[in-house]
Amino acid sequence: MAEKMRAVDIKNGTGPADSLYINTIPKPTPSSGEAIVKIKAFGLNRMDLLQREGHYPVPPQAGPILGVEFSGHIETLGEGCKDGFKAGDEVFGLAYGGAYAEYIAANTHMLLHKPSHLSWKEAAGVPETWITATQAMYLVGEFAKGKSILWHAGASSVSIAGIQLSKVGGASAIYVTAGSQDKIDFCVQELGATAGFNYKTQDWSKEILKATGGNGVDVVIDFVGASYFQGNLDVAAVDGRIVNLGALSGTKVSNVDIGSFVRKRLRIEGSSLRSRDAEYQGRLRDKLEEYLPQFEDGTFKIFVDKVLPWEEVVEAHKLMEKNTTKGKIICTIY
């Protein structure tokens, strides 16, 4: 009989936060190149809410269990693992899915050795966040030293990482949008953004154009979608790059003036990390490994807003839905 484990499941396959519950399912077995990791903590991401509701295009490798980032220790290794890991190693990593569980089968090239200076909780909130920010900023947005950048949803975990990466990367100016003065103050005073704008009380595109003397910004990172489409076109600089990572406000736009798209020679590009193949994700994992010394010396900071036991995963999802947090929400399995 196959071994069993506990995992967070969804009643009827999709539904609201209250449909989450802990079920007993078969424990995974490792394929070639995979390790079985006993999970200590996992991070929540916006895609988890969308997947729970049936609105996220889940890649075929993912399976039905939510969660893409985790920390824990290796229990066993499958054949063909060439990344220098062994049973008992403390690790953290990225997966296509399955992290809301006691065990996960993970490609060893998507694992990193957990440094002693990172707690299980901190490590679980690093992979998806920092890899997504790196991909959006450098691989898609083609950021380079001296360029200006705008991070929408400034107090979200990805933008928190992105602001720090932009600062270290030599951005000429770092702008953010957020929904409260508290979040704006956090981005500016704690993270080092140049300025922030409240999308609820200000016309952020006009304010950014004013702040830049009408020049706009070189790189825009957006998670919001439809309602920000026109503003992004307006605020982008000549030869600017607009990177779209999500559509929290919807996918359909109307009454948009695309004149600046041609006039300013803009490039708008959508991207999803989860749908990328293992080789692509592996290159970003290698980049994340280069950041580890900067986490240790304090150059980069990991912001965990709330930690809950995984038995309270319903409350964790409801908290994320409120959009009040600054940093990661983590669930622990102890």
Going from the C-alpha of 233 to that of each of 86, 156, 258, 259, 267, the distances in angstroms are: 50, 22, 7, 9, 10
DSSP 88: T
At 15, list the tokens: 């539904």
Task: Report CA 64 to chain centroid distance, whole Å.
Answer: 19
Query: Looking at beta carbons, which pairs linking 288-294 to residues 24 or more positions away fall under 8 Å?
Result: 288/112, 288/126, 288/127, 288/130, 288/131, 288/134, 289/112, 291/130, 292/112, 292/115, 294/168
Q: From CA 165, how far away is CA 167, in angstroms rounded?
A: 5
Per-residue pLDDT of the chain (334 residues; tens, 9 = 90+): 579 999 999 999 999 999 999 999 999 999 999 999 999 999 999 999 999 999 888 888 888 999 999 999 999 999 888 778 999 999 999 999 999 999 999 999 999 999 999 999 999 999 999 999 999 999 999 999 999 999 999 999 999 999 999 999 999 999 999 999 999 999 999 999 999 999 999 999 999 999 999 999 999 999 998 999 999 999 999 999 999 998 888 888 888 899 989 999 999 999 888 888 888 888 899 999 999 999 999 999 999 999 999 999 999 999 999 999 999 999 999 8
Q: How far is residue 268's CA from residue 158's CA, in Å, rounded to a whole number?
A: 19
Q: How many CB atoms lie within 10 A of CB 158?
A: 27
Q: How far apart are CA 303 and CA 326, in angstroms?
A: 7
Q: What structural domains and CATH numbers belong to the chain?
A: 4-126+274-332 (3.90.180.10), 132-270 (3.40.50.720)
pTM for this model (two decimals): 0.93
Distance of CA 310 to the CA centre of its chain: 20
